[in-house]
Chain A
Amino acid sequence: MTDLSFRAAEQQAPVVDEQRADDRASGRGAGSRRRFRIGAGEALAGAYLIAAVVAAVAPGLLSPVDPLAISPSQAFSPPSLADPAVTLLGTDESGRSILSRIIHGAGPSLLIGASATAIGLLLGAALGLFAGLSGRVVDFAVNRLLEVLFALPGLLLALFLIVIVGPGVVTTTLAVGLSTAPGYARIIRGQVLAIRRSGYIEAATVLGVSPVRRLIRHMLPNTAGPLLALGTLGLGQAIVWASALSYLGLGAVPPSPEWGAMLAAGRIYLTTAWWMSVMPGLAIVLTAMSATALGRGVQRRVRAL
């Protein structure tokens, strides 16, 4: 029996190869090697993200300046090379180095973004698999629930959770995670349904492979790729959302260096000290862009597998 099921699965494989052959023939795919070549954009995005991760793990390595050290006499210094460690990206209203604060803020900002994405993905995956694998009634119920959640904008859902639980970094992370979950759940459910109707699962079912084994051996590996791609794409969004919540004063508490909180602190000085909000804003935008660029790359490659 097992042998047969294996053979059934292997029979699927040539289909993919055929597709690749088609791509090659039509000239648009240009083959696996080219697909996996890393473009300049992706290289830049990767380099930036690596730098951000280094900053998150060991901020002292990149900036020796204390992000909380105040120096009122140096307040509102515009970006300059005078004292690069402090003033390269300017200083804030208390004379703290924006460069150092962005570097030290990478940890909290990325951690919130990554944890929120992980929470959203895990929850979404669980819900999606559950809906996709259960019967019609459960699927219907989960679908309607997702539709209700979709009716509320994600940020509103996050705000709602924060109102109930109270503000703070942990709540923000949870709130962003939970409010992204419905999106992931829907995509994964679709994926599960597609796979469930595929020939190799039908074959496995006919051959009497147990549901658990079907899930672990066939379904999960086939949803993992899209999940990974979604996660990388979602990271950027989660960082932006977490920053938005901190910006609203619901996340990190001052004067801790968190990008969203820095953006908020700089807002009132926008006309006189633009660098206070533009610099952390750039950090957020670049991180989100890099994560998205890499996410798209991963997505493309996964689809090609």
Chain B
Amino acid sequence: MPLSSKPRTRARAIPLAFVATATATALLLTGCTGGSTAPSASGTPTAGGTLTYASGDGEPTCLDPHVGGNYPQALLGGQFLESLVSRDSSGEIIPWLASSWEVTDDGLSYTFTLRDGVSFTDGTPLDAEAVKANVAHVQDPDTGSSTGYLALQKVANVEALDATTVRFDLSAPDSALLESLSQPWVAIESPAGLERGIEANCEGPIGTGPFTVSEWIKQDRVILTRNDAYVSPPADAGHEGAAYLDEIVWRFIPDSASRYAALQAGEVDVIDNAQPDTIVAATEQSGLAELDAPRPGSVNRLELNSDKAPFDDERVREAFIRAADVNDGIQSLFFGTAQRSYSPLSSVETTAYSDESLFGTDLDEANSLLDAAGWTQRDSEGYRTKDGQRLSLQFPVSTNQSIPAEQSLFEQIQATVKDAGFEVVLQPLDLSSWYGALGANEYDVVSAPYTKVGPDVLRILYDSSGITPAPSGYFANHAQVNRPELDAILSQASATSDADERADLYKQAQKIVLEGYYILPLYDQQNHFLYRDRVQGLRAMPTVSTPTFYDVSLSE
């Protein structure tokens, strides 16, 4: 299944007609892969049964997605926690725990009306005070939130007006607030649960979701049991009332080959992080199906650390990007399951802006740029030098976050940029050592996925404030882009509520990031699920593309 060489259909400039086609294409794509709604035509879903899920994402150290805030937590948390709002497959924000909301004209105040008759699974009612307690929990430095913390950065105060009405007062207008609130990292948890303290809450957060955490056997599995009193599905769900499944057994199988083997043997029903070669193999095999749900927010890309030599020189960054030949590699390593991207944003974002012309491979151009930048000498191994220093780049690779095909792609980039005289030192690291290397600024190239609903992810990744670490110690602006004009555009985009104006500002921001050669875009954050035929009604949430098992039933 080679990649076709036809140009990508996606919103390039922003004319409305274009947006419309792109949205339609996106809808069509998600439709094809089972992203649309609920049970298939094979009759009424039967209740009952146990579904086994095998995750290749690391086992969270804490099940509360407020703490830290990573994708594995969102995958699991999405089954038992719910957010104020959600997003449908066309990108519209839709009601969830909040049934409606109003925004003041200055964009500084949002008033949410909460859904009636919803209780947490510990019996605590969902009310305005509960929402207030959750925002306080995310913003509490002791919680150590990074993703949720950034999402709620502009929320200055939360006021419980009455039991079901809650007002968010902002320090500055935030056009992305609803998108941010749709994410699992700011899900609403029982205040009684939060009061147990961070450690106890990590073991089993209490939410309003269709399932509850009944047991967590560390290093092995989490058992989720159906919440029979469930009443609060999002507006785009396939049915109402309790979920069909009795139980979900959530296993952790880090090895991709073992995970796929378990699926083939029928030991598990759904696996995530399916590898490109197994996706191809599975689609040729009967009894298995694929759900392709690229993550929103950022695209997968290499970030070039512009804070220190040699990448503080734009010419050297451009030379690296011109020398790196990635298209052939993506084609052969991903077997046509990944499309090359030329945008900072995921293709699911309608505001994504691409510029392919900046990323053509051109070795001669790379060489003359490096000559101009003063890297004129070559040492005995063929690497360029300047003042006796080798043109060497430290590239810490998180083996937890980069799939093997991606690691192979990095090796290929290492081989191709060598021709221009770059030495790339690949360092495969576990997650904590990898964070350590980033925190110590000991990297020149890095690839860090970042998932967020909406184009506001650009503010997190490329605003100069993103160089300062969040309470958890994590910082997101790894390219260390520090451009006042970009900061200005991004805050203007946050402030405007006009959709077209906002889209235009985000386009300008993306232009600055691309034209400054801070990143080398690769492809959408891959998010492929494989499942057995007996699993009916599986879909990915249009928010952060985590699978939801609320509508799922098992057929025998």
Contact surface of A with B, Cβ cutoff 8 Å: 68-70, 72-73, 75-76, 93-95, 249, 253-255, 265, 267-273
A95 contacts across to B, CB distance below 8 A: 332
- Residue pair A72, B412 in contact (C-beta under 8 Å): yes
Q: How far is the CB of A224 from chain B (nearest CB, A)?
A: 42
Are the C-beta atoms of B407 and A271 separated by less than 8 Å? Answer: no
Q: Please tell me if the beta carbons of B415 and A94 are within 8 angstroms of each other in the complex.
A: yes
Q: State whether A75 touches B333 (Cβ < 8 A).
A: yes
Contact between A94 and B399, CB atoms less than 8 A apart: no
Q: Is the CB of A70 within 8 A of B277?
A: no
B275 proximity list for chain A (CB < 8 A): 268
Bound complex: CA of A267 vs CA of B408, how far in Å? 13
List 29 A-B pairs, Cβ < 8 Å. Answer: A70-B329, A70-B416, A72-B328, A72-B329, A72-B332, A75-B333, A76-B332, A93-B332, A93-B333, A93-B405, A94-B329, A94-B333, A94-B408, A94-B411, A94-B412, A95-B332, A249-B399, A253-B426, A253-B427, A254-B426, A255-B414, A255-B415, A255-B426, A265-B408, A267-B257, A268-B277, A269-B277, A271-B277, A272-B281
A7 CB to nearest chain B CB (Å):
63
Q: Give the residues in chain B near A249, CB-CB below 8 Å.
A: 399, 428
Q: Is B412 in contact with A70, judged by CB distance below 8 angstroms?
A: yes
Contacts of A76 in B (CB 8 A): 332
Across chains A and B, which 7 residue pairs bring their CB atoms closest together, nearest first? A72-B328, A75-B332, A255-B411, A72-B332, A70-B415, A272-B277, A93-B408
A72 and B405 CA atoms in complex are apart in Å by 12
* Whole-angstrom distance between the Cβ of B361 and the nearest chain A Cβ: 12
The answer to whether A268 and B256 touch across the interface, beta carbons within 8 angstroms, is yes
- B277 near A73 with CB under 8 A, answer no
B436 is an interface residue with CB less than 8 A from chain A: no
Closest to A272 in B: B277
Residues of B within 8 A of A (CB): 256-257, 260, 275, 277-278, 281, 328-329, 331-333, 399, 404-405, 407-408, 411-412, 414-416, 426-428
Cα distance, A272 to B277, chains bound together (Å): 7
Question: What is the distance, in angstroms, from A24's C-beta to the closest C-beta of chain B?
Answer: 57
A254 partner residues in chain B, CB cutoff 8 A: 407, 411, 426, 428
Q: How far is the CB of B369 from chain A (nearest CB, A)?
A: 23
Give bound CA distance, A93 to B330, whole Å: 11
- Residue contact B426 to A68, C-beta cutoff 8 Å: no
With A and B bound together, what is the CA distance between A267 and B407 in angstroms?
14
- A75 / chain B contacts, CB cutoff of 8 Å: 332-333
- With both beta carbons as reference points, the residue of chain A lying nearest to B277 in the complex is identified as A272
Q: How far is the CA of A124 from the CA of B415 in the complex (A)?
A: 42
Apart from A255-B411, A271-B277, what are 6 other A-B pairs with CB-CB below 8 Å?
A70-B416, A94-B332, A94-B408, A255-B415, A265-B404, A267-B257
| Complex CA–CA separation, A73 to B329 (angstroms) | 8
- Taking CB atoms, residues of chain B closer than 8 Å to A253 are 426-428
Give the distance in Å from the alpha carbon of A270 to the alpha carbon of B257 in the complex.
8
Give Cα A69 to B416, complex, Å: 9
Chain A residues whose CB sits within 8 angstroms of the CB of B411 once the complex forms: 70, 94, 254-255
